[in-house]
Amino acid sequence: MWSSWEAATLREKLKALANLQKVDMEAAALRKAADVHPKQIAELERELGAARSAIEAERSRVADIERQKAQLEQNITDDKDKVKKWEARLAEQRSTREYSALAREIDIAKKANLTMADELVELTKTLGAARETVKGKEVEFATRQQQLGARMSELRSKLAESETQVKQLEGQRSSVAEHVDPNLLRRYETIRKKKLPALVGVVAGTCQGCNMNVPPQLYNQLRTSLGTDVCPSCNRIIYAVEALADPTAAK
């Protein structure tokens, strides 16, 4: 049997490693929780970008209608000028045939001008409706931008807070690791890179890391030695939970 001093020393070694793992687990939990923030921020940025693109599409449509309207107005003006010139030439025509031909062209041009004038009225209405649509979407976008911006700021703040906490834990880890037995620490670090927790207790012969039973002889050895071993199933460092129990608690 171990003397009380030796048992206390073994418990302290195990507690030191358990304390180190506690820091590592807390840091890992913070990193995992913080991992979702960049994804959420990216999703919000995509949503904001889609809303912005929708407005730009409407603005482009307005600009296109404005170009059509300007071109139509120019065509109407040009045709009116052309009609005026043709009408001035009517008196100059010497033959009935030439007069009739020019009068027919003038009539055709006037009818075309009236058609374009009707088109211009409809296009003006379309332009007005498109401009109103843009105004409405700009108001919606401004509201949504404010909402998404506030949410992104909140997520960035949480991310920064998590990073700060992780750095603090990393600084704390160095001092905690100094109290861990070097051989035990090396074994722990090797396992920790692959899986956490790397140190798990054995309760009633069952490894709490993989829920598999350990050989009875190994379990008894852990209970009597207050030391550690490796789980045959998951390769984690295992110990009997009794090893960390306060011997004075039962008194």
Q: How far apart are CA 191 and CA 186, in angstroms?
A: 9
Q: How far apart are CA 143 and CA 11, in angstroms?
A: 60
**In terms of domains, do 164 and 55 share one?**
yes
Is residue 248 very low, low, confident or very high in pLDDT (cuts 50, 70, 90)?
low
- Res. 39: pLDDT tops 70: yes
- Res. 94: pLDDT tops 60: yes
Q: Residue holding tokens 């009236």? A: 114
Q: How far apart are CA 22 and CA 197, in angstroms?
A: 9
**In terms of domains, do 167 and 185 share one?**
no
- Res. 62: pLDDT tops 80: yes
Q: Which of 152, 176, 200 is the last residue of a domain?
A: 176
The total number of structural domains in the chain stands at 2
Q: 8 vs 122, which has greater pLDDT?
A: 122
CA angle 170, 172, 173 (to 5 degrees): 60
> Which range of residues forms the domain containing residue 81?
26-176
**In terms of domains, do 106 and 34 share one?**
yes
For residues 199-221, average pLDDT: 94
* pLDDT tens sequence across 5-36: 555 677 888 899 999 999 999 999 999 888 89
**In terms of domains, do 113 and 61 share one?**
yes
* Rounded percentage of the chain residues whose pLDDT exceeds 70: 94
Residue 2: per-residue pLDDT: 46
**In terms of domains, do 50 and 167 share one?**
yes
